[in-house]
Structure 1
Amino acid sequence: MTVFDDLVGQERAAVVLRQAAAAGAEALAGGRGAGMTHAWLFTGPPGSGRTEAARAFAAALLCPDQGCGHCDQCHQVAVGSHPDVETVRPQGLSYSVKQTRELVLRAAGAPTLGRWRVILFEDADRATEAAANALLKAIEEPPPRTVWLLCSPAPDDMMVTIRSRCRVVTLATPSTAAVAHMLVTRENVPPDVAESAARATQGDASRARRLALDEEARRRRAAVLALPRGLTGVGACVEAAERLVKTSAEDAEEATARLNEVETAELRKVYGEGSTGKGLNKGLVRGGAGAMKELEDRQKSRATRVRRDSLDAALLDLVAFYRDVLAVQFGAAVELSTGDHRADLEALARSGTPEDTLRRIDVIMECRERLAANVNPQIAVEAMTIALWRPGIS
């Protein structure tokens, strides 16, 4: 087993990364190292494993055997403790120029263990324009042993000047069979549950894992897919919108509450809360008031992003539902990701035309655009549910 064997359905990308890791080892030995470069851009749809692929490549670069999967180097990269790998995870809606400049300074340092210094930047598309310009300068003139691994849903999400200086690794959507196999072999999920979760998430391995292991996640998805049949009038549409926004907020709260608690406790400990000695505890905690305020601001920004992402995931489930309605209307022989709601699909297919279904899909996509533009979620989703009820009047 190598570090690339854990990538789900990404055999072609794994071949490219293995070759590049070998070229990197050759460059360290004084050779040409053709095929190795200092900046990489990992792209692919949600759940394709962009971060996992970048992390595997980081391990392969730092491992003497190009990613054996069992040495100390590979293990440290996997658990996030390797001193030469810095993982950047934008917590809020964007990544600021101040944060980027600080990151660039840290990236300029020499590797601790003598091979490479790797910066793994998740969601690099969240960098602001000013931050992207600061990042561009670092990529244009990198230190000789620094490697940038940027992750983004699509190449076009990055500035063209950054994209042109990176080698792009495009990840495919894993097949249902590949995701189901992963759930069975790695998570001990029963085959029928694994198959259902893989089909429902359309190749999104991370969401499939959560859906297979979390009964509450399955319940929330079922509630979202039941929404179309409950749209029987304006009042029902408003109530459905309220439930959808509330459920997404609760999902986000559950995802962030524990992390917030741990971060706050750790920061309080750093600034002396609980320490003994006359005046020591109070003085140190007072000195950390600014840091605590900064942490709270970051947590609020992260909560906003997670709420938005949770609601967007629910809207994508609705898009999948109406796409399946369209498939039923045309009698297409395709895999239905919401096939466990077959009765609802057929009922809606009979009650409207393919044109109605396409209009409904457009309505949901428009709602996603409004939410991305910071329209009030309740207002945006209410407009969507009413238009879903009456697709010809929107």
Structure 2
Amino acid sequence: MNAWSDLTGQTEAVDVLRSAASASSSSMTHAWLITGPPGSGRSNMAFAFAAALLSGSPDGDDQTLAQVESRTHPDLSILSTENVTYTIREVREFATTSYYSPSVGSYRVMVIEDADRMTERTSNVLLKALEEPPERTVWILCAPSDADMLPTIRSRVRTLRLRLPDVDDVAELLQSQLGVDATTAERAARLAQSHIGMAKRLATDGDALSRREQTLRTALSMRSVTDAVMAAAGMLEIAGDDAKAFTSERDEAERESVMRSLGLEPGQTIPPALRSQIKSLEEDQKRRATRSLRDGIDRILVDLLSMYRDITMIQLGRAHAIINREFADDLRRKAEATDAARTLQTMDAIRQARRRIAGNVAPALALEAALVTAIR
């Protein structure tokens, strides 16, 4: 096993980074931007590259791999967020650590996950660190595309674009990593549209798979504006349930951990002097819940896009290329009831809903508008 073993469908990108990590490489640069669609493995690629750099070997070594995997390597700094955006304070404090000298290796590696979640003001804080980098510091930024970053930052990084892996590649990964059977792996990879993280969840979480199926059934059953409004409310509830399932257990564990660190027993009344620390935790968890809900709504919209894509494929005579094969009969009936032009209009409306929600439009309004378009 080496640093690149768990990466799938990214041979070209691995070759570039493996070469850059070589001690004799002339292609090494102080700042990288790894881009790719959701689920392409941007973060996994970043940490594999970090392991290679920190070990001094293009393939990494067992000790360094273990330290990077557990996020305990002394020369590795990571900035990630479960909130909607990074704060200026977070980025400023993180950038300060980039000036520390490596303690055990040749590099200090700075990884920023979801770098697109920085506002312009926050990005300018990062820009200052990229403009005057220490000689032995390497920055690795991750974002869906280079267009998500300021032009001034793009000009100071080397961009490496990942592609979405094939369904077969993701299915093989699920079988090897999770031990699921071939049928389950193929179905999860196909329904997730090769999004590795979502495929893993669908392969192991029956409730997540059921919620996805419920979303599609609801959309397929719409016949009127009233149905569309009710469907939007139901999908928001599904997204909320999904977000709670994803965060509630973690929230409780975090609260118990903080309570113990403060010397308090579960259920004990919190003294006034300690309430600010609990309140800070609750605010962080609330921001994380907001992001999780938004991510859940966006995933529902992506699933709806896959369904209307399938309908379009059937209308264009390419039924063999559909994603949601389990709904083939329902999709065929829906395709016969309309035409490709109208289905494409619906897909445009769903894409517009994604943009609106990303721009802080009320999710209920954006989703209702998209679903009303679907039944007109």
The interval holding the TM-score normalised by the smaller chain is: over 0.9
Corresponding position: 1:352 with 2:344: no
Structure 1 gap ranges (5+): 27-32, 275-280
**Superposition pairs of residues 266-285 of structure 1, within 5 angstroms:** 266-274=257-265
Q: Which residue of 2 aligns with 1:93?
A: 84
* Aligned mates of 1:53, 1:268 — CA distance in 2: 36
- Greater CA drift, 208-217 or 110-119: 110-119
TM-aligned CA deviation for residue 269 of structure 1: 3.0
Equivalenced residue count is 375
Q: Which residue of 2 aligns with 1:37?
A: 29
Structure 2 contact 312–343 (Cα < 8 Å) conserved: yes
Which of 328, 333, 352 is residue 342 of structure 1 equivalent to?
Answer: 328
Q: Which residue of 2 aligns with 1:319?
A: 305
Structure 1 contact 44–170 (Cα < 8 Å) conserved: yes
Task: Extract structure 1 runs of 4+ deviating beyond 4 A.
Answer: none
Corresponding position: 1:133 with 2:124: yes
Describe the superposition over 1:288-339 as per-residue Cα deviations: whole angstroms up to 9, x where unpaired. Answer: 4333322222211111111001010010010011111111111137632112
Structure 1 contact 61–67 (Cα < 8 Å) conserved: no
* Aligned mates of 2:56, 2:350 — CA distance in 1: 49
- Greater CA drift, 232-241 or 94-103: 232-241
Equivalent residue of 1:120, what SS? strand
TM-aligned CA deviation for residue 178 of structure 1: 0.4
Instruction: State the one-letter code of the partner of 2:284.
Output: R
Instruction: State the one-letter code of the partner of 2:334.
Output: L
TM-aligned CA deviation for residue 10 of structure 1: 0.7
Q: Which residue of 1 aligns with 2:5?
A: 5
Instruction: State the one-letter code of the partner of 1:301.
Output: R
Structure 1 contact 201–337 (Cα < 8 Å) conserved: no
Instruction: State the one-letter code of the partner of 2:123.
Output: A
Which of 23, 40, 43 is residue 48 of structure 1 equivalent to?
Answer: 40
Structure 1 contact 37–167 (Cα < 8 Å) conserved: yes
TM-aligned CA deviation for residue 73 of structure 1: 1.1
Q: Which residue of 2 aligns with 1:278?
A: none
TM-aligned CA deviation for residue 388 of structure 1: 1.2
* Aligned mates of 1:213, 1:192 — CA distance in 2: 13
Structure 2 contact 84–290 (Cα < 8 Å) conserved: yes
**Superposition pairs of residues 68-147 of structure 1, within 5 angstroms:** 68-69=60-61, 71-147=62-138
* Aligned mates of 2:102, 2:257 — CA distance in 1: 28
TM-aligned CA deviation for residue 287 of structure 1: 4.2
* Aligned mates of 1:335, 1:199 — CA distance in 2: 11
Structure 1 contact 96–130 (Cα < 8 Å) conserved: no
Alpha carbons of structure 1 residues 333 and 254: separation in structure 2 relative to 1, 3 Å: closer
Instruction: State the one-letter code of the partner of 2:332.
Output: E
Q: Which residue of 2 aligns with 1:30?
A: none
* Aligned mates of 2:5, 2:195 — CA distance in 1: 18
Describe the superposition over 1:93-147 as per-residue Cα deviations: whole angstroms up to 9, x where unpaired. Answer: 1101111111111222112213211111110000111110000110111112211
- Greater CA drift, 308-317 or 97-106: 97-106
TM-aligned CA deviation for residue 282 of structure 1: 9.2
Q: Which residue of 2 aligns with 1:15?
A: 15
Structure 1 contact 107–119 (Cα < 8 Å) conserved: yes
Structure 1 contact 62–74 (Cα < 8 Å) conserved: no
**TM-score, normalised relative to structure 2:** 0.95
Describe the superposition over 1:56-106 as per-residue Cα deviations: whole angstroms up to 9, x where unpaired. Answer: 00000011433345x211111012121211221112111011111111112
Instruction: State the one-letter code of the partner of 1:15.
Output: D
Describe the superposition over 1:192-242 as per-residue Cα deviations: whole angstroms up to 9, x where unpaired. Answer: 111111111221111111111111111011111112321122332222111
Equivalent residue of 2:321, what SS? coil
**TM-score, normalised relative to structure 1:** 0.91
* Aligned mates of 1:109, 1:272 — CA distance in 2: 34
Instruction: State the one-letter code of the partner of 2:296.
Output: S
Structure 1 contact 49–205 (Cα < 8 Å) conserved: yes
- Greater CA drift, 152-161 or 294-303: 294-303
Q: Which residue of 1 aligns with 2:51?
A: 59
* Aligned mates of 1:212, 1:67 — CA distance in 2: 29
Alpha carbons of structure 1 residues 354 and 263: separation in structure 2 relative to 1, 3 Å: same
Equivalent residue of 1:320, what SS? helix
Q: Which residue of 1 aligns with 2:173?
A: 182
- Greater CA drift, 131-140 or 233-242: 233-242
* Aligned mates of 2:4, 2:318 — CA distance in 1: 36
* RMSD of aligned residue pairs (Cα, Å): 1.9
* Aligned mates of 1:288, 1:52 — CA distance in 2: 38
Describe the superposition over 1:6-60 as per-residue Cα deviations: whole angstroms up to 9, x where unpaired. Answer: 10111111100110110xx34xxxxxx4111111101000110000000000000
TM-aligned CA deviation for residue 375 of structure 1: 2.1
Q: Which residue of 2 aligns with 1:162?
A: 153
Alpha carbons of structure 1 residues 286 and 67: separation in structure 2 relative to 1, 3 Å: farther
Describe the superposition over 1:239-276 as per-residue Cα deviations: whole angstroms up to 9, x where unpaired. Answer: 211110001011111111122222222333333335xx
